[in-house]
Amino acid sequence: MLRYDLVDVFTDRPFAGNQLAVVHDAAHLSVAQLHAIASEFNLSETTFPTPRGAGEYDVRIFTPAGEIPFAGHPTLGTAWVLRSAGALGPDGAVQHCGAGQIKVRFDGDRVELSATPRDLSAPVSDEIVEEVLGDLGLSADDHDGAAYVAGAGLNFLHLPVRADAIGRAEPARRPVSRFTEAVGPLQDPFDGINLFSVSGTAPELTVRSRVFVPELSVPEDPATGSAAAGLGMALVAAGLLPDGGRYEITQGVELGRPSRLSGRVDAVAGRATECHVAGGVHHVGRGEIAVPPDMSGSGGHVA
């Protein structure tokens, strides 16, 4: 049996925000076994950390569809769980994942990640924007500003719309990865849509967001730290935070899991240099899960 913890991330109370399962002592398992456990939990992400000591740890992150190199709420939640277990110190740590090193800092039950920008496209064409808006049940009239593909380990199409369009959007069924060649080249996977509206003026903005990741079996995500990190890059590129600044994101309202993500982006000469995303973490449960049989040779698909 393997021990696990359940936490809610990007929330000021339990049973809101985004759910995460953190499974311990799984370094000996195959990719197929890790994928089977993530599929069993069927949450947007499940993590498998291995402490290195001296304030560092490795982590593997899985959605129900397979492994991804980076994600925000798994980073915050995993670090919080490891600190609670005494595996990390009280101030901060370094996470090693598929996207490289991610710094984390603690402030009580609040955790902040800091990631280096990795991918930023030129403004996405109107043709692509209109096609994606159609997938979301919206029209070209809802579009409100330049759209970018950006990420610090996981890429999203950051698509600005009018405030009234946020609630009318429907989950997309077609993956946006079909546009990878048109917007590339990209280092990291491009799987999601970050639909957002923005208000306020630099250096502090307010954002309403919804995130859809059909290719990773996540029709809609209640809180998406990786999208929040990439959004900082897009806000700088669009001239909304030309010198960097802060942005507070509300997400998950339509799912009944209201979430609050605090974004902060550093910028030099109109280009993002570091992305920071913070939020609260709350423990909601722990238990044990059986080790699944190793189906590595069965031909099953693992991303």
Question: Catalytic residue numbers?
Answer: 45
Burial label, 72 (beta-carbon count in 10 A; 0-12, 13-18, 19+): buried
Tokens of residue 282, six digits: 């709350």
CA–CA gap between residue 115 and residue 92 (Å, rounded): 14
Query: 3-state DSSP call for residue 145?
Result: coil
Question: Phi/psi class of residue 48: alpha, beta or left (left: φ > 0; alpha: ψ in -120 to 50)?
Answer: beta
CA–CA gap between residue 276 and residue 263 (Å, rounded): 6
Residue 94 contacts residue 102 (beta carbons within 8 Å): yes
Q: Please state the length of the chain.
A: 303
Residue linked to tokens 């698509």: 159
CA–CA gap between residue 13 and residue 3 (Å, rounded): 23
Q: How many CA atoms lie within 13 A of 6 on its CB side?
A: 17
Question: Is the peptide bond prior to 203 cis by the omega test (within 30 degrees of 0)?
Answer: yes
Query: Which of 149-161 are b and which e, b meaning 16 or more Cβ less than 10 Å from the residue's Cβ?
Result: bbbbbbbbbbbbb
Cβ of 128: how many Cβ atoms within 10 Å?
18
Residue 293 contacts residue 29 (beta carbons within 8 Å): no
CA–CA gap between residue 265 and residue 274 (Å, rounded): 6
